[in-house]
Amino acid sequence: MWATGITNLFHGRRLVIPVSNDTLMLLFQAGLFLLALLTFIMLLIDKTSKK
């Protein structure tokens, strides 16, 4: 249901793309991984800038 909201954000019109649960889980995990990676990089930059 919320996938249609995401496509509405991107296209501005109602365009329903059939999304399987596997794809959603993959996107979710990729998002979590990117978030963790960004946090790690920010922490590294913070540590190196304090020296």
Task: Tell me how many domains the chain contains.
Answer: 1
- Whether 15 has a pLDDT exceeding 80, the answer reads no
> Nearest 5°: phi and psi at 17?
-100, 125
- Residue 16's pLDDT is what? 64
- Residue 17's pLDDT is what? 63
- Is residue 51, in this structure, part of any structural domain at all? yes
- Residue 21's pLDDT is what? 81
Angle at 7 between CA 5 and CA 9, to 5 degrees: 70
Q: Which residues constitute the domain of residue 43? A: 20-51
- Is residue 13, in this structure, part of any structural domain at all? no
- pTM: predicted TM-score of the whole model, two decimal places: 0.54
Q: What span, in angstroms and rounded, lies between the C-alpha atoms of 30 and 41?
A: 16
- Is residue 35, in this structure, part of any structural domain at all? yes
Q: pLDDT tens for residues 24-33?
A: 889 899 999 9
- Is residue 3, in this structure, part of any structural domain at all? no
